Structure 1
Amino acid sequence: MEEHSGTAPELSGRRLKLRALRREDSGALLRCWSHPEAASWLGVEPLASEAEAEELIRLLLEMEHEEESLRWSIELPGGEVIGSCGYNSWQLTGAFRGEVGFELSPAFWGRGYMREALALALRYGFEEMELNRVEAQCHPANLRSSRLLSSLGFSREGTLREYRHTPSGFQDVDLYALLRRDWRDLITLEREKDNRT
């Protein structure tokens, strides 16, 4: 198993790559983190300045160094950063469980970028981190995210009532989970489909 050095490894996909967060990503990620529609699903107030985005990146990098989080910037081939994704937390002993989080600039919604990015993060989680279970939390009204998670093989396991506190009050979240064995089955089916075409 790969040791975590405090810097997220680069993962390459067909149309994008995941790479370690950088402080200079603050302007691009501010466009995502400050957008009211995107921030509402995160349960936080939209960020108001590039300084706030820089501070959030600093905090995420510090958490990564302490092995409490693992976050990637999502970068297109021309170098444009369009969002981020990664593991909010994980346990590599006992439960072998992790939790993913993700956000994408609304200008890039509906193009399949987040599906590709999460597929890379999931492969890393199951193959390199040796997780057995990956969880995701989703606001019940966030149909776009729930469809995305379902398309990646996640199963909705129920609603956690008033699970988090947000600027607008307590909020329910739906819990989704993907097991390693189900992920392997999905990968096998996708490979068989590719071989037939």
Structure 2
Amino acid sequence: MTPRLATARLVLRARVPDDAEALFAAMGDAAAMTWWSHAPAESVAALRERFIARDDGVWRSWAITRAGDDVAIGFVAAGERRAGVVEIGYLLVPAAQGRGYAREAVGAVIDRLFTEGYRRVFADTDPDNAGSNRLLESLGFRREGLLRAEWETHIGVRDTILWGLLRDEWRVERPSRQGQRPGSLGGSS
């Protein structure tokens, strides 16, 4: 189950196939999908099919919406890799980028994951994906390694940076979150 989460500016809710309409602005765009492991979706219908297949019981996915507006502007996904360890991924539509929404949404999901008892959250990014690498670093993730020629993607064979964050580090370093009320993260089930 994907619990609803709320921050000062955002509501994160379970992603549904109909979100494909709004998210096609990112997931159908070659520039927005440059750093993903797969090419952009060819159509809204193809993206909708991918959404249905992705929610497989291993991955949970939250649609990011602005408070008071249920239109998806992005998503955060979390997939358990082994007991206590979860991987995250995220994407915003281009029109919503540069406003701190990704940081706010990813922070809310991290809070939830650690509250649920996970001990480690990790992400992998392309070394050339400067925006995502800055985001993870700003949230307290530590660069743990570089895997050479890890991914064969639509733009060629790519290296990946592994980023990790431990529950105890999140509690101690708790990054400040612009525009959020204290205690506003974590949501309800």
TM-score normalised to the size of structure 2? 0.89
1:3 equivalent in structure 2: none
Give CA deviations for 1:88-129 in whole Å, capped at 9, x if unaligned.
33322xxx111101111111111000000001110111011x
Give the drift of 1:190: 4.1
For 2:3 and 2:63, how far apart are their aligned partners in 1?
A: 11
2:62 equivalent in structure 1: 72
The one-letter amino acid paired with 1:73 is A
1:82 equivalent in structure 2: 73
1:27 equivalent in structure 2: 21
For 2:176 and 2:156, how far apart are their aligned partners in 1?
A: 41
Q: 4+ residue stretches of structure 1 with deviation over 4 A?
A: none
2:101 equivalent in structure 1: 113
TM-score normalised to the size of structure 1? 0.85
Give the drift of 1:37: 1.6
Query: Which of 152, 155, 159 lines up with 2:139 in the alignment?
Result: 152
1:123 equivalent in structure 2: 111
Secondary structure (helix, strand or coil) at the match of 2:12 reads strand
How many residue pairs align between the two structures? Answer: 178
* Distance of aligned partners of 1:190 and 1:113 in 2 relative to their CA distance in 1, 3 Å threshold: closer
Greater relative contact order, per chain length (Cα 8 Å cut-off, separation 6+): 2
Spell out the pairing of 1:143-182 with structure 2 (5 A cutoff): 143-182=130-169
Give CA deviations for 1:121-153 in whole Å, capped at 9, x if unaligned.
10111011x111111011101111111001100
**Between the two proteins, what is the percent identity of the paired residues?**
35
Matched, 1:40 2:13: no
The one-letter amino acid paired with 2:149 is E
Matched, 1:140 2:116: no
1:9 equivalent in structure 2: 3
Give CA deviations for 1:150-185 in whole Å, capped at 9, x if unaligned.
110001112111111112322101010001111001
Q: Which has the higher Rg, Structure 1 or Structure 2?
A: 1
Root-mean-square deviation over aligned CA pairs:
1.7
* Structure whose residues are more often helix by fraction: 1
The one-letter amino acid paired with 1:108 is A
1:54 equivalent in structure 2: 48
What are the ranges of 5 or more consecutive residues in structure 2 without an aligned counterpart?
A: 183-189
For 1:10 and 1:25, how far apart are their aligned partners in 2?
A: 16
